[in-house]
Amino acid sequence: MADDARTILVVDDDPDAREFLTTVLQDNGFTTATANDGTEAIAMIEKSVPDLITLDVSMPEKSGVAVYRKLKEDEQLKNVPVIIITGVSDDFKGFISSRRQVPPPEGYISKPVDHEQFLALIKSLLG
């Protein structure tokens, strides 16, 4: 790789959300990849592991929760930081953080996404 741009995989079934997040990331020097659903995300991650993943929770095919669980149970993938992006309430945050099988996500952003908060979280996770 010629540059040291970090690659972030944006997983969201909403094209507007994907567009917004990838634009914010690219404008700030990140390389992006996108997946429309959990099944596509898993296939992409297995081909090329990103530096960070943003994951929408409610998607068709395979939910964000299912993708998250798969990542955190995989020795090769469990250290990839995941930011859960959701319009779901704090109740959901409590729910996913209380799962015993997997550690809580590295970050949460609620929809609508505040791009400054989003970037600050990504920069803190990627150092």
User: What is the domain-level CATH number for residue 31?
Assistant: 3.40.50.2300
Q: Nearest Cα to 95, choosing from 124, 123, 71, 65?
A: 65
CB atoms within 10 A of CB 110: 16
Q: Is residue 1 domain-resident?
A: no
Structural domains of the chain, count: 1
- Tokens representing 101 are 């099988």
Q: Nearest Cα to 106, choosing from 89, 77, 114?
A: 77
- Say what the pLDDT of residue 102 is: 73
- Tokens representing 83 are 């930011």
3-state secondary structure of 42: helix
Domain that holds residue 12: 7-126
pTM score? 0.87
- Say what the pLDDT of residue 87 is: 74
| Run means of pLDDT, 10 residues per run, the chain, 127 residues | 77 94 97 96 96 89 85 94 80 62 82 92 94
- Say what the pLDDT of residue 83 is: 94
Q: Nearest Cα to 67, choosing from 50, 43, 47?
A: 43
- Say what the pLDDT of residue 74 is: 94
Q: Is residue 62 domain-resident?
A: yes
- Tokens representing 25 are 């990331």
Strands ordered across the beta sheet of 52-56: 31-35, 7-11, 52-56, 82-86, 107-110
